[in-house]
Every structure is written in C-alpha cells, then in structure tokens.
Amino acid sequence: MVIGTALPSSAFTSVPPSGKPIPREFMGMHVLSVSSYLWPDVLTGTARMWDTGTSWRDIEPRKGRYQWASLDAAVAATKASGSQVLLVLGPTPAWAASAQNKKYDIKGPGSSSPPAKTSDFTKYVNAVTNRYKGRIEAYQIWNEANLLNFWRGTPAQMADLTQAAYKVIRKNDPNAKVVAASTTIRKADDYQKFFPKYLSELKKRKWPIDVLAVHAYPTGQEAPADRVRYLELARQDIAAAGATQFPIWDTEVNYGLAGPGAVPKAVLSDATQQAYLAQTYLDSARLGIERTYWYAWAPPGDLLGVVTWPGSAAAKTYGVVGNWIVNGVYQGCTNQAPIVACDYSGLPHSGSGRVKFVWSQSGPAAYALPIGASSMQDVNGTWTRVSAGQVISVTQSPIMIVF
C-alpha cells in the first residue's frame, strides 16, 4: 500500500452481460480477527487470509516445524460462516530467505526475499494443501509482488514460484483455484516494471494459474472513478498478453490510506465512506471483476480511510450492497458523465425483479426516473416511494431504483 503518481485516464468500457447470477463470493473481505471467530455481521462470501497470522512465515517459522493453530481456527471460522477461503501463501520465513534487507522486509527478516530454495516453498505448499484439501478453495501465490516491501525478486522468479505452486496444488487439490501474485496499480513505475513482465513470464510457462489478481487502491486523495482507471489499465495489459480467458480478482482495496512516511490518512466522512464502498462493488460488477476483497473488517485505526466494523456506516453499506446485487444478473451499464446507471434482473426487491443502480462520479446531477420506477433505496437501506418522470438529484452515493 504505497502512494504513487496517478496514471492517465482511459476510456470506460463495461463488460457484456454474462447471463449468470452474481455469486456470494463476489463480496470478499479481509477479516483480521478471523482466528478469534470475530466474523462480520454482514453478508461476506469469501475471506482473504492476509495479515491474519496465517502466512508461510507464520506457519513454518522454523524449517519443517509447522504451527497450524491460527490457520486451523481461521479456516474453521470461515467455513462455519458458509464462506470460502483465499489463502495467501507468502511471504518468506527468515530461515528460507536468500537474503535479508532491513529497509524492505516489513513483514520480518527475509520476508521480501525470494526463497533460497524453491523446494522449501513447494514443501510448504504441499503440507498446507494436503492438510486443507477441500476446505481452502483458493491459494494466492504472493501479496503485492511488484513492491520491494513484499518481493525483491524478478517477475521471472515469481513466475517460477507460481508454476511450482501450481503443480503441487493441482496434484493435491485439483479443485482449488490458483490465484496469481497480486500487483498494485497506483504506483505507476513499480506496476509497469512488474505486471506486464509477470504476465509474459506466466505465458511462457503456459499459464500456471486460474485467476489473475490486482490491487486497485487509489491514492489517498483519489476516488472510485480513479480505481476504474487503474482497473482499465490492468485489463488492457491483460488483453495485450493474451490472458483475457482468466477471471480478475481485486484482492485488496480501500481508500484514503496513510503513508508512505509522513503522508497522513485522508479523513472521509461517513457519507463518503459509504459512497466509495458502494461504488467499488458496483464498479467491479460492471468492469467484470469477479471478486473484490475489502481491506479490512477491523476497528478504526491510523491506516484506513473507510472503516468496516460492527456499527460503522460503511459496514452497513457493505451489507446493503451485498443484498442489492448477490444473485442478481447484470444487464449492462450506461455512462453519460457524470452519471453511471447499471441494470440488473432476477432480484427479489420487486415483482419484476428489475432494478437500476445510479450514481454520479463527480458532483450532484439531475436525473429523471425512468418509466416503471416505483421506489428506491439508499446505501443506508432506507426506502422512498418515487414515480416515473420524477427528477431527483443523484450524488456519489449510489441508489437502487426498483421497477
């Protein structure tokens, strides 16, 4: 999570409708206290195990000595909720590192280093996949591998680890998904140095993955529309690499993040937090991002601009948005700046099953409600009766219009 130079804008392109209902797993979350069974009180379809004491260096702090308690508890809590598990395999334990670097090893000595022996990594992958076969649905190779804080190796070395893990996972748990190392987008230089080359190296190895992953964090002063630009850039690079057959997951996102150094966290009002969160998931659907993992279900702190925790405004919106779109069928969007309007069918909010989500990407804008509109709901879950032709003010906070 680092702030960098903004990227140039790109044209908005929504994906064509797939005709398939949006699954519960679309709503992803990082549940930092998952090992203590502190599960979210809102619909969460999948949890990413990161910053949860469940990484390789947590589980195997000494070679061949496995400590499974935290991951056992995390998997049990997640499965008890009816949700799926995405486990991040890295970073490197100190004993397995090829080198240590105090400047970059933010997860502990050697954590950003490539393993000295790939076999040490594959032995761990073998152990974890044998232990959790059928209970962990997806494995992600590494976190933010384009940043030196997490990976000081080359894109080719990361592709080698990806291929090595893929072979083990396919052998031990063929139904589990292999998710590529995630790449942040907002720091342009680090993104360009890593992601296109990583894709190229994966292609050389005949694509040993099932899913591609990005982190589309905007900078502290940016908004969801900037995240859309970042996702568009990633989609362009994925298309150029000939990898459009793979789904894309955004495995970590928030807004207003503090850092690096003395850069302060952006203070966002409750209303802005709710608007940003709701836009994020609606944007993911229209851009074809198969899953989006919010970071994080955790108390207020010094890092995050949007807080999801019991009683917070954004947590309420996370629940509202999940109820809005899970099991709905995306039918496409129009983007007539600044207003975005997206259509869905198959939802139980009205007899017709038809709804439209509308929001502004900038300031308030007038919007005439379409024929058949009967009611609308805001990000707090509040319902209002409306009628066709009625002109309302659309803001950055999405609304659901029911027909």
Q: In CATH, what is the architecture of 332-402?
A: Sandwich (2.60)
Q: In angstroms, rounded to a whole number, what is the distance separating the alpha carbons of residues 353 and 21?
A: 12
pLDDT band at 1 (very low <50, low <70, confident <90, very high): very low
Q: How far is residue 128's CA from residue 169's CA, in Å, rounded to a whole number?
A: 9
Average pLDDT, the chain: 94
Q: Torsions phi, psi of 391, nearest 5?
A: -95, 125
What is the per-residue pLDDT across 96-154, written as a single tens digit (0 to 9) for each?
A: 999 999 999 999 999 999 999 999 999 999 999 999 999 999 999 999 999 999 999 99
Q: Which two tokens stand for residue 302?
A: 């010094």
Residue 386 makes CB contacts below 8 A (sequence gap 6+) with 369, 373, 374, 375, 376, 392, 401
pLDDT band at 298, cuts 50/70/90? very high
| Domain residue spans of the chain | 24-327, 332-402
The pLDDT tens digits for 52-100 are 999 999 999 999 999 999 999 999 999 999 999 999 999 999 999 999 9
Going by C-alpha positions, the residue among 165, 174, 155, 87 that lies closest to residue 119 is: 165
Whether residue 372 is predicted with pLDDT greater than 70 in this model: the reply is: yes
Is there a shared CATH topology between the 24-327 domain and the 332-402 domain? Answer: no
C-alpha dihedral, 304 to 307 to 308 to 309, nearest 10°: 110
Per-residue CA distances from 383 to 11, 111, 280 (Å) = 34, 49, 22
pLDDT-based confidence at residue 211 (cuts at 50, 70, 90): very high
24-327, what's its fold? TIM Barrel (3.20.20)
Alpha-carbon distance 379 to 271, whole Å?
Answer: 9
Instruction: Name residue 300's amino acid.
Output: P
